[in-house]
């Protein structure tokens, strides 16, 4: 009996080692298999159809997938917003309903059922948001404002359908945090060193932001991000590979967080397969963004899947840089080792400036175009040599022609910005404000 148990344990250990090895083999960019954007576009005809039908697998997410099955400390959205709107519209917090403008009373009532789309109300609310945003930009001391809800303890803010808007948890593994922080710090300080200027990407020079993993924007098929493939300088590839390997423990922890709290979302994302053109470094998440000691301007992440949550993890030793959600008038005082999962597609968000130290953040997310929405059932039966087609699709055939090797830094790499905030967005489309209060409502086409 003991021999049998020992054999079982050995088999299980071997399986775990094989799974770990398979994961590590698919962490980094493989120049003989994976494809960047231009190479991905060259898969046409039968190759395109076969990839879409047989190699690209996904299950659509539903709004109910954002309902947590584990959270005990839940703050209903209608309670939260009613509190703030009443405070906003009363003097000296007298809480006399007669002092509240009718337009805001109507808004409070509408939250209980569905989002009221009365244009007159929302025109006024849009102006209120503009004032709120301008005030936030000018007043970095909003954390001390009595009207702001400071969300500090683990818990969850949910909408009227019990779907998560913001979920705050802690990473209870110091080794995971230390390894991730060390890796991101080493990568960051390597790039800001003038001796390594040729390793800087354009996005790092502009915004101190890089994206790793799989994209699918402006193409029919997924492709490997330019930062993962280090297309600007192949000499930098080893730096990227070391970073991604070092983030495996944190990625596994975030995957477990989603599995424990949003099991339906996890099961569906686990079925998401974008291969063979892309590696899979982050488990269920196709991509991450790393903000290297920078803060974000106010924005909605319109390309993020509307029925999914992004997961943000701050790293470093810092003060300030709070995460603010003006639609909910909620402030998260970011601390190293937190997980902030939130509906990035619907919630306007930004950071306040840092007051001390260096703060990085890693954001795990899923783009809506990662889901295969092609009508595969109606796809015609293909008369093909399947073995030959698969062989071609798993061999990039030297199509990644835009990868270069630099011997010295280019002009843009020498003139790195001195700014501490990203400049990704211009005007903020305030019509999204409607959807921030009802995450199940589709965004209007404007």
Average pLDDT along the chain: 80
> What phi and psi, each to the nearest 5 degrees, are found at residue 165?
-105, -45
pLDDT of residue 15: 59
388-417 confidence digits (pLDDT tens): 888 889 988 888 877 889 989 999 998 876
pLDDT band at 298 (very low <50, low <70, confident <90, very high): confident
pLDDT of residue 106: 58
Distance (Å, rounded) from C-alpha 77 to C-alpha 377?
40
100-152 confidence digits (pLDDT tens): 555 555 555 554 444 444 556 556 655 655 565 565 555 544 444 556 788 99
Sign of CA dihedral 180, 183, 189, 194: negative
* Structural domains in the chain, sorted by start: 23-69+164-374+387-436 (3.60.130.30), 76-144 (no CATH)
More confident residue, 327 or 233: 233
Alpha helices in 2-100 (DSSP H): 2-25, 37-41, 45-50, 77-89
Distance (Å, rounded) from C-alpha 130 to C-alpha 379?
47
pLDDT of residue 424: 44
pLDDT of residue 128: 59
pLDDT of residue 388: 86
pLDDT of residue 396: 82
DSSP-derived pairing of the beta strands 74-76 and 155-158:
parallel
Nearest to 212 by CA among 139, 290, 156: 290
> What phi and psi, each to the nearest 5 degrees, are found at residue 301?
-90, 85
* Contact status, residue 339 vs residue 71, Cβ threshold 8 Å: no
* Contact status, residue 425 vs residue 207, Cβ threshold 8 Å: no
Nearest to 150 by CA among 296, 396, 399, 334: 334
* Contact status, residue 430 vs residue 129, Cβ threshold 8 Å: yes
pLDDT of residue 401: 78
pLDDT of residue 91: 46
Distance (Å, rounded) from C-alpha 166 to C-alpha 159?
10
pLDDT of residue 149: 82
432-444 confidence digits (pLDDT tens): 433 433 333 333 3
Looking at the predicted structure, is the pLDDT value of residue 18 above 60?
Answer: no
Question: Per mean pLDDT, which range of 85-89, 377-381, 421-425 is the poorest?
Answer: 421-425
> What phi and psi, each to the nearest 5 degrees, are found at residue 313?
-125, 110
Neighbours of 15 (CB within 10 A): 10
pLDDT of residue 2: 63
Using the structure block, give the residue that is written with the tokens 């795990």.
Answer: 364
pLDDT of residue 327: 79
Looking at the predicted structure, is the pLDDT value of residue 349 above 70?
Answer: yes
Cα of first residue to Cα of last residue in the chain, in angstroms, is 69
Which H or E element spans position 290? Answer: strand 287-291
* Contact status, residue 25 vs residue 32, Cβ threshold 8 Å: no
pLDDT band at 66 (very low <50, low <70, confident <90, very high): very high
């Amino acid at each position: 009996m003991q021999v049998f148990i020992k054999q079982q344990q050995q088999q299980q250990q071997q399986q775990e080692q094989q799974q770990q090895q398979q994961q590590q083999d698919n962490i980094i960019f493989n120049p003989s298999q994976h494809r960047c954007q231009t190479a991905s576009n060259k898969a046409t005809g039968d190759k395109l159809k076969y990839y879409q039908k047989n190699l690209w697998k996904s299950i659509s997410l539903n709004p109910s997938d954002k309902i947590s099955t584990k959270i005990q400390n839940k703050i209903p959205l209608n309670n939260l917003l009613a509190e703030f709107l009443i405070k906003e519209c009363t003097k000296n917090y007298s809480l006399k309903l007669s002092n509240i403008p009718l337009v805001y009373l109507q808004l409070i009532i509408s939250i209980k059922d569905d989002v009221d789309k009365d244009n007159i109300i929302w025109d006024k609310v849009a102006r209120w948001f503009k004032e709120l945003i301008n005030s936030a930009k000018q007043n970095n001391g909003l954390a001390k404002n009595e009207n702001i809800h400071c969300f500090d303890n683990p818990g969850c803010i949910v909408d009227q359908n019990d779907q998560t808007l913001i979920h705050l948890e802690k990473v209870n593994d110091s080794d995971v945090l230390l390894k991730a922080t060390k890796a991101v710090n080493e990568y960051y300080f390597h790039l800001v060193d003038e001796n390594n200027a040729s390793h800087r990407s354009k996005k790092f020079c502009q915004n101190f932001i890089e994206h790793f993993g799989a994209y699918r924007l402006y193409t029919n098929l997924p492709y490997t991000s330019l930062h993962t493939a280090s297309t600007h300088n192949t000499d930098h590839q080893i730096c990227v590979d070391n970073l991604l390997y070092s983030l495996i423990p944190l990625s596994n922890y975030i995957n477990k967080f989603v599995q424990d709290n949003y099991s339906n979302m996890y099961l569906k994302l686990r079925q998401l397969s974008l291969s063979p053109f892309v590696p899979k470094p982050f488990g269920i998440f196709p991509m991450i963004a790393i903000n290297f000691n920078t803060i974000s301007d106010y924005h909605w992440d319109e390309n993020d899947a509307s029925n999914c949550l992004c997961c943000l993890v701050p790293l470093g030793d810092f003060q300030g840089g709070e995460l603010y959600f003006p639609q909910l008038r909620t402030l998260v005082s970011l601390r190293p080792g937190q997980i902030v999962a939130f509906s990035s597609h619907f919630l306007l968000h930004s950071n306040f400036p840092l007051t001390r130290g260096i703060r990085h953040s890693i954001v795990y997310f899923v783009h809506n175009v990662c889901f295969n929405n092609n009508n595969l059932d109606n796809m015609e039966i293909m008369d093909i040599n399947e073995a030959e087609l698969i062989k071609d699709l798993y061999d990039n055939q030297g199509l990644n022609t835009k990868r270069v090797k630099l011997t010295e830094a280019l002009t843009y790499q020498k003139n790195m910005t001195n700014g501490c905030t990203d400049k990704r967005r211009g005007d903020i489309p305030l019509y999204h404000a409607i959807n921030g209060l009802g995450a199940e409502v589709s965004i209007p086409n404007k």
